[in-house]
């Protein structure tokens, strides 16, 4: 029998170096610490090369980092290997990649000798960990001491310059790159293109892009992204077409950049399918956001459902879109799904959902979202608190608005504006002015155009002309009259305070009035009893080529109603529906019914109500009942009263109107009966009776 000697694998330092390098590239699952311990057990002595490779491999694998790195550092000191600069550089890199910036800084300060690599390593580490200012300062010191930056250093510094708008600093980096020859590096050139585009210097970005001889996919993507950030859709498409013609590989970033430029999502979706990117979660998420943004929620939902991985960005995009449309029931379903998947939405997404809580029926949903904000810690963010203030303002809950405002640790101007605007919207103009005076007493903050517009709306509520004039003076001194919404608020204030001459003066001072400004002028004339001028203003607006909206027609129909212009009212109502495609709201119908009723056209008014696309409310029926009182139309009045009673039997206005109708016909028994019904429903039955 032949006995073969077992083969013994010779394990020298090269063998262990090979294993450690495999760890760096992720080719084996063994821990670098385990391999290093095996090396020590094999009676081999690690040298400076071993330690350098080991530290590089350790970067991605240490769990109990603090304890193990201390052991490694102790071994380096005892063995004397820490005298090698590149060994310490590897250790410094290890600290930085684990976020231990202070330890890395201390190690750098202790180094008696430093080479270019260690300077670049610390600068890049600072940038990666959010210490951009320290990175920039260190970069300057590095240049002063005669060391040359690497391409990676410049690539890490340029994004900071672009984000902060530090144009001169970025140009200095460009100068260093040109002087050192690093400008020819494709990574540096891409970073420079991105920097110039973020600083709104697309001309420089275009020159750099044209100079590039070998443009990679990254280079093309950078230029498409530059145009996308600047909102230049056509230019982004042109670059993409050139990229496509040159057979450059299209990457997920290409698609994402094009979608961010609001390029038509349907052709891009086809391209995604053709290029086999349907499983890329970032591409699918961007497409979901694009479909949601365009209101194509069915497609967005189907695409999201087809994704192999759930995405918080895609899901919150769908939620926010439903909330924006006011469909809070479905928005809540998707929001609940984020909770089931243990996803945490951010402040921006939460505010988007809060903005959907517009109706009084949404108050429970809004309060639940408020609870989530408290539980998740988002209520500490000013953005979320401002969103909650706006939401509670819609529910006329001023006390909660003021409570939330008092809880803010920092109160920027936007928060003061939210509270002031909220108080005015809730009909508490006096409270809004109290908050404004408190803001002025704190010092350091001056009202902006939004503050003034909100306060002017408050003056309109209080009919406080003198205070409105003071605000007008402040507007002129601070050049706010260039803001259309401020001028619109001024016109509205003067009109509601009975000074139509000054309202006209402000209107004529505007070079190009927008639709909202014309609306204020039309409504102002109507309120001042100048119905003919209101209609003339509407016709002039049409001649200027501006498209009226539903608020325009509210002002016009109100003028027709008060002036008794039946034919003009009919023409405008018909134009609103057929010519401009605007669906009438309950307010439009109430004005039109009131106009027909006042003209004694009861049959026509009833026919209009019967053919309404939406269910008539008490305001619509009430407008007709008021007309019945004027014309003493008892039969129609009783029919309308029954309809109103079925809608809301607790409506006190119904009993007052019916009592007045019976009184005009001297039907005193019926007057008593109606008053008794009022008492049964909680009213005193003597509304309008003088005690004198």
Instruction: Tell which wins on pLDDT, 487 or 637.
Output: 487
Instruction: Read off the pLDDT band of 1 (50, 70, 90).
Output: very low
Q: How far apart are CA 670 and CA 663, in angstroms?
A: 8
For residue 9, the model assigns a pLDDT of: 44
Does the pLDDT value for residue 114 go beyond 60?
A: yes
- State the average pLDDT over residues 372-380: 87
Q: Is the alpha carbon torsion for 489, 491, 492, 498 positive or negative? A: positive
For residue 436, the model assigns a pLDDT of: 92
For residue 680, the model assigns a pLDDT of: 61
Question: In this structure, how many other beta carbons lie within 10 angstroms of the beta carbon of residue 684?
Answer: 9
DSSP secondary structure string, 550-587? HHHHHHHHHHHHHHT-HHHHHHHHHIIIIIT-PPP-HH
For residue 536, the model assigns a pLDDT of: 92
Query: CB–CB of 303/288 below 8 Å?
Result: yes
Instruction: Read off the pLDDT band of 655 (50, 70, 90).
Output: low
Q: Is the alpha carbon torsion for 87, 88, 93, 99 positive or negative? A: positive
Question: Who contacts 437 (Cβ-Cβ below 8 Å, separation ≥6)?
Answer: none
Q: What is the pTM of this model?
A: 0.65
Does the pLDDT value for residue 456 go beyond 90?
A: yes
Q: How far apart are CA 453 and CA 481, in angstroms?
A: 11
Q: What is the pLDDT of residues 388-447, one digit of tens each?
A: 998 888 888 889 989 988 888 888 898 999 999 999 988 889 999 999 999 988 877 889
- State the average pLDDT over residues 95-105: 75
Q: How far apart are CA 157 and CA 145, in angstroms?
A: 18
Does the pLDDT value for residue 4 go beyond 50?
A: no
Q: How far apart are CA 334 and CA 340, in angstroms?
A: 10
Question: In this structure, how many other beta carbons lie within 10 angstroms of the beta carbon of residue 677?
Answer: 17
Q: Tell me which CATH code domain 584-692 carries.
A: 1.25.40
Closest by CA position to 547, among listed 578, 570, 514: 514
Alpha-carbon distance values, 673 to 38, 49, 597 (Å): 102, 105, 26
- State the average pLDDT over residues 77-83: 60
Q: How far apart are CA 117 and CA 147, in angstroms?
A: 9
- State the average pLDDT over residues 89-114: 75
Q: What is the pLDDT of residues 507-554, one digit of tens each?
A: 888 888 889 899 999 988 888 888 899 999 999 999 988 899 899 999
Closest by CA position to 636, among listed 656, 661, 608, 655: 661
For residue 419, the model assigns a pLDDT of: 92
User: What is the share, in percent, of the chain residues with pLDDT greater than 70?
Assistant: 82
Closest by CA position to 486, among listed 426, 494, 558: 494
Query: CB–CB of 560/572 below 8 Å?
Result: yes
Query: CB–CB of 569/557 below 8 Å?
Result: yes
Q: What is the pLDDT of residues 594-644, one digit of tens each?
A: 899 888 888 888 888 888 888 888 888 878 878 887 777 777 777 777 776
For residue 3, the model assigns a pLDDT of: 46
* Average predicted confidence (pLDDT) for the chain: 80
Q: What is the pLDDT of residues 123-137, one digit of tens each?
A: 888 877 878 788 888
* Residues found in the chain: 692
Query: CB–CB of 503/524 below 8 Å?
Result: yes
Does the pLDDT value for residue 463 go beyond 50?
A: yes
Q: How far apart are CA 168 and CA 199, in angstroms?
A: 10
For residue 452, the model assigns a pLDDT of: 92
Does the pLDDT value for residue 115 go beyond 70?
A: yes
Closest by CA position to 560, among listed 572, 574, 552: 572
Does the pLDDT value for residue 72 go beyond 80?
A: no
Phi-psi label, residue 412: left if phi above 0, alpha if psi -120 to 50, beta otherwise: beta
């Amino acid at each position: 029998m032949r006995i073969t000697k077992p083969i013994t694998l010779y394990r020298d330092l090269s063998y262990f170096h090979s294993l450690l390098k495999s760890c760096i590239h992720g080719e084996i699952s063994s821990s670098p610490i385990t391999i290093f311990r095996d090396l020590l057990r094999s009676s081999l002595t690690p040298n400076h090369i071993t330690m350098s490779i080991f530290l590089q491999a350790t970067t991605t694998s240490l769990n109990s980092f603090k304890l193990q790195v201390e052991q490694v550092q102790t071994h380096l000191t005892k063995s004397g290997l820490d005298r090698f600069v590149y060994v310490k550089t590897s250790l410094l890199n290890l600290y930085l990649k684990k976020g231990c910036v202070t330890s890395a800084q201390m190690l750098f300060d202790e180094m008696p000798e430093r080479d270019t690599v260690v300077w670049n390593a610390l600068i890049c580490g600072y940038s990666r960990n959010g210490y951009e200012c320290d990175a920039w300062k260190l970069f300057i010191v590095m240049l002063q001491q005669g060391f040359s930056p690497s391409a990676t250093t410049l690539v890490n510094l340029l994004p900071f310059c672009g984000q902060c708008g530090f144009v001169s600093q970025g140009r200095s980096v460009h100068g260093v790159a040109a002087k050192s020859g690093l400008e020819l590096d494709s990574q540096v050139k891409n970073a420079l293109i991105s920097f110039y585009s973020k600083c709104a210097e697309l001309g420089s970005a275009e020159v750099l892009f044209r100079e590039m001889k070998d443009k990679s996919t990254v280079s093309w993507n950078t230029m498409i992204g530059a145009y996308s950030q600047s909102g230049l859709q056509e230019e982004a498409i042109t670059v993409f077409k050139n990229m496509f013609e040159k057979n450059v590989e299209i990457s997920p970033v290409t698609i994402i950049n094009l979608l961010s430029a609001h390029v038509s999502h349907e052709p891009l979706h086809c391209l995604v399918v053709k290029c086999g990117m349907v499983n890329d979660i970032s591409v699918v998420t961007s497409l979901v956001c694009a479909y949601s943004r365009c209101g194509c929620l069915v497609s967005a939902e189907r695409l999201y459902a087809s994704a192999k991985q759930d995405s918080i960005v895609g899901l919150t995009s769908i939620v926010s879109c439903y909330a924006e449309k006011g469909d809070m029931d479905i928005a809540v379903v998707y929001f609940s799904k984020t909770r089931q998947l243990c996803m945490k939405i951010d402040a921006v997404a939460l505010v988007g959902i809060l903005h959907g809580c517009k109706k009084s029926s949404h108050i429970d949903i809004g309060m639940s979202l408020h609870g989530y904000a408290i539980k998740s810690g988002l209520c500490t963010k000013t953005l979320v608190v401002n969103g909650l203030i706006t939401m509670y303002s819609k529910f006329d809950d001023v006390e909660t608005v003021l409570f939330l405002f008092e809880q803010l640790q920092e109160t920027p101007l936007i928060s003061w504006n939210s509270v002031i605007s909220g108080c005015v919207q809730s009909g508490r103009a006096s409270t809004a002015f109290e908050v404004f005076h408190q803001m002025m007493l704190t010092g350091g903050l001056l009202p902006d155009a939004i503050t003034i517009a909100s306060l002017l709306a408050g003056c309109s509520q209080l009919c406080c002309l003198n205070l409105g004039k003071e605000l007008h003076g402040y507007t002129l001194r601070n050049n706010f009259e260039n803001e259309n919404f401020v001028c619109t608020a001024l016109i509205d204030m003067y009109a509601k305070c009975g000074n139509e001459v000054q309202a006209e003066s402000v209107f004529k001072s505007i070079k190009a009035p927008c639709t909202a400004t014309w609306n204020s002028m039309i409504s102002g004339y109507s309120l001042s009893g100048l119905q003919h001028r209101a209609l003339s203003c509407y016709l002039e607006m049409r001649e200027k080529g501006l498209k009226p909206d539903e608020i325009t027609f509210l002002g016009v129909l109100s003028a027709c109603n008060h002036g008794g212009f039946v034919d003009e009212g009919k023409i405008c109502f018909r134009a609103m529906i057929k010519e401009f495609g605007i669906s009438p709201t309950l307010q439009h119908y109430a004005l039109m019914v009131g106009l027909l009723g006042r003209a004694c056209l009861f049959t026509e008014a009833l026919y209009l109500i019967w053919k309404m696309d939406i269910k008539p409310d008490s305001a619509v029926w009430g407008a007709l009942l008021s007309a019945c009182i004027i014309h003493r139309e008892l039969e129609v009045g009783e029919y309308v009263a029954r309809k109103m009673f079925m809608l809301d039997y607790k409506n006190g206005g119904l009993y007052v109107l019916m009592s007045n109708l019976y009184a005009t016909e001297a039907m005193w028994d019926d007057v008593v009966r109606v008053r008794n019904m009022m008492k049964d429903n909680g009213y005193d039955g003597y509304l309008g009776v003088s005690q004198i």
